């Protein structure tokens, strides 16, 4: 089982959204995913509950609560035993022992950042902290930034400068854009299953076509992650 961890000191950086999006993409590829929710607000448990109600969930995905070190270990053991293909680990903002454990016990660390000064500063701090931990442990775990919530319209000069500055660090080639399909993911369920439902409703064809664009984006991102995992 390969583990993918979303981390950032900053709350609202887009960790949970990216975790849900990439879980949808991997699930669409037929992979079995263990989602490990280490945020005490349990956004992934809520996601599953909403999706179950909407009929947009898959029993190929297991969700594990892990809000302390002990339950994190247990979630790990259980998901190993249940032979999931991937574990997707969502962390809460801020620094903690649990977050440190998450970025060490993984094959890939993803640090989301939007194109704002605050996000970028926090992403850099998270990156340095994570690499520092890996070095202390004598580990080399691929760690890269995911540029999140990129405007779909033409970027401003300062956004272009921010993008160039972020690109100095290891970044995934695919960016996630600011899209309604992503903002509503937590309420709706697995992206591809939401799409299937929408497509069959003639009144919602336009929304379905927007969702299809978002799905292509997360498939490309999932492929970037799989490529990074090959070296892990």
Ligand X SMILES: Nc1ncnc2c1ncn2[C@@H]1O[C@H](COP(=O)(O)OP(=O)(O)O)[C@@H](O)[C@H]1O
Q: Which is nearer to Mg ion, 68 or 196 (CB)?
A: 68
Taking the C-alpha atoms of residue 106 and residue 83, their distance in angstroms, rounded to an integer, is: 16
Looking only at residues 113 through 152 of this chain, which bind ligand X when binding is defined by CB under 6 A?
A: 148-149
Q: Which of 37, 107, 104, 105 is nearest to 71 (CA)?
A: 37
Binding of ligand X by 23 (CB under 6 A): no
Residue in the shown chain whose Cβ atom is closest to Mg ion: 16
Which residues does 225 contact at the CB level (< 8 Å), separation at least 6?
4, 22, 108, 110, 172
Binding of ligand X by 35 (CB under 6 A): no
Angle at alpha carbon of residue 227, lines to 84 and 165, rounded to 5°: 120
Question: Could you tell which of Mg ion, ligand X, none binds residue 195, using a CB distance below 5 to 8 A set by kind?
Answer: none
Contact region with Mg ion (CB under 5 A), list: 14-22, 69-77, 95-103, 157-165: 14-22
Among 61, 124, 147, 176, binds ligand X (CB under 6 A): 176
Q: Which is nearer to Mg ion, 15 or 175 (CB)?
A: 15
Binding of ligand X by 22 (CB under 6 A): no
Among 3, 17, 100, 106, binds ligand X (CB under 6 A): 17
Q: Which is nearer to ligand X, 102 or 176 (CB)?
A: 176
- Contact code string over 16-55 relative to Mg ion, x by CB under 5 A: x---------------------------------------
Question: Could you tell which of Mg ion, ligand X, none binds residue 72, using a CB distance below 5 to 8 A set by kind?
Answer: none
Q: Which of 213, 148, 154, 220 is nearest to 181 (CA)?
A: 213
Binding of ligand X by 95 (CB under 6 A): no
Taking the C-alpha atoms of residue 104 and residue 137, their distance in angstroms, rounded to an integer, is: 8
Taking the C-alpha atoms of residue 227 and residue 193, their distance in angstroms, rounded to an integer, is: 25
Total chain residues near Mg ion (CB under 5 A): 2
Among 32, 107, 175, 179, binds ligand X (CB under 6 A): 179
CB 1 within 8 A of CB 87: yes
- Other beta carbons within 10 angstroms of residue 97's beta carbon come to 10
Q: How far is the CB of 194 from ligand X (least distance, A)?
A: 14
Strands 33-37 and 86-90: parallel
Angle at alpha carbon of residue 112, lines to 221 and 159, rounded to 5°: 95
* Contacts to ligand X by CB under 6 A: 8, 11-17, 93, 148-149, 176, 178-179, 182-183
């Amino acid at each position: 089982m390969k583990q993918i961890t979303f981390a950032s000191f900053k709350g609202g950086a887009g960790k949970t959204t990216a975790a849900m999006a990439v879980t949808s993409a991997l699930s669409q590829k037929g992979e079995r995913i263990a989602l490990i929710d280490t945020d005490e607000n349990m956004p992934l448990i809520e996601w599953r509950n909403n999706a179950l109600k909407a009929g947009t969930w898959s029993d190929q995905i297991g969700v594990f609560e892990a809000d302390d070190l002990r339950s994190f270990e247990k979630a790990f053991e259980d998901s190993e035993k249940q032979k999931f293909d991937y574990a997707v680990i969502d962390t809460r903002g801020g620094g903690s022992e649990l977050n440190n454990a998450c970025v060490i016990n993984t094959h890939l660390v993803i640090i989301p950042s939007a194109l704002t000064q605050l996000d970028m500063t926090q992403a850099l701090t998270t990156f340095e902290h994570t690499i520092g931990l890996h070095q202390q442990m004598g580990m080399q775990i691929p760690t890269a930034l995911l540029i999140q919530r990129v405007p779909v319209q033409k970027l401003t000069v300062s956004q272009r400068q921010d993008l160039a500055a972020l690109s100095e660090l290891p970044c995934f080639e695919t960016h996630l854009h600011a899209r309604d399909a992503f903002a509503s993911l937590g309420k709706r369920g697995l992206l591809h299953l939401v799409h299937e439902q929408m497509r069959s409703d003639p009144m919602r064809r336009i929304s379905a076509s927007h969702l299809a664009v978002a799905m292509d984006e997360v498939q490309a991102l999932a492929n970037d992650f799989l490529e990074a995992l090959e070296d892990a």
